[in-house]
Amino acid sequence: MSQFVGDVVAWFADPVNWTGSNGVPNRVWEHVQMSVLAMVIATAIAVPIAVYLAHRRMGETFVVGIVNLARAIPSFGVIAVALPITIRMGLGLGFWPTLLALLFLAIPPLFSNTHAGISGVDQATVEAAEGMGMTNRQVMTGVEIPLAMPIMLVGARVAAVQVVATATLGALVAWGGLGRYIIDGFATQDLVEVFAGGLLVAVLAVATELLFSLAERLVRRRYHSEQLTRSTV
């Protein structure tokens, strides 16, 4: 056991593993780029539609459906489904099937939390905004989205952690990222490399979790807790 730990430490200490396209910095950078890109695209697709539907008091059944769907699909299955689609579309291996799979995963939590957050905004507040003469767009951007932001960020956190963890599977379809260490390690029966890759993914996922938790706390403090801390005095 101590032999194995020593090997892992040696792996991380080896300068070879920190340089070139298969070095840790490049693999982490690929992993982060792919995750951020997937989150940005998923947000751009899911949030506007969810905000609009919730603002119009529409789409509750759609939300339930999409949440159940998301729970039913295993990450591995998503990649397996994405691969033939991108190949048929002539987009090939690697980047596109990975991105497509991550979008499938990220959109449901973003969509359902945004919808729930907007739907949960106090109707009296929305009515006051309309009664003051705000346009629909102003009500959405100026009142509903800021007030729903803490719940929307919960959805973003769930989505981002899932995306970071699942981007690992991109290595199965010949994309890079931290999954390379795991897949290549299994192929060459190099369990130290497998473990090092797993450790890096775990650290990145936890870092993502912490980053979004921090953002949630900042937003909650901005909008809510100042009142709470003062009102308890």
Binding of another protein at residue 131 (CB under 8 A)?
yes
Residue 159: CB minimum distance to another protein, A: 23
Q: How far apart are CA 127 and CA 131, in angstroms?
A: 6
Helix ranges (H only) for the chain are 2-13, 24-55, 60-72, 75-88, 95-119, 123-131, 136-139, 145-166, 179-187, 191-220, 226-231
Q: Residue 146 or residue 198: which is nearer to another protein going by CB?
A: 146
Q: Residue 71 or residue 137: which is nearer to another protein going by CB?
A: 137
x-or-dash string of contact with another protein, 201-230, rule CB under 8 A: ---------------------xxx-xx--x
Type of residue at 66: I
Residue 146: CB minimum distance to another protein, A: 5
Q: Which of 45, 134, 154, 215 binds another protein (CB under 8 A)?
A: 134
Alpha carbon distance, N-terminus to C-terminus of the chain:
54
Q: Which of 57, 58, 68, 127 binds another protein (CB under 8 A)?
A: 127
DSSP letter at 177 equals S
Residue 231: CB minimum distance to another protein, A: 6
Binding of another protein at residue 232 (CB under 8 A)?
no
Q: Residue 132: what are its φ and ψ, rounded to 5°?
A: -75, -15
Structure tokens at 210: 């912490």
Q: Residue 65 or residue 224: which is nearer to another protein going by CB?
A: 224
CA nearest to 81, candidates 62, 63, 105: 105
Angle at 148 between CA 145 and CA 149, to 5 degrees: 80
Binding part of the chain for another protein, among 42-50, 94-102, 109-117, 142-150 by CB under 8 A, reads: 142-150
Residue 50: CB minimum distance to another protein, A: 19
Q: How far apart are CA 150 and CA 176, in angstroms?
A: 33
Q: Which of 7, 62, 73, 138 binds another protein (CB under 8 A)?
A: 138
Name the residues that contact another protein, by CB under 8 A.
122, 124-125, 127-135, 138, 143, 146-147, 222-224, 226-227, 230-231
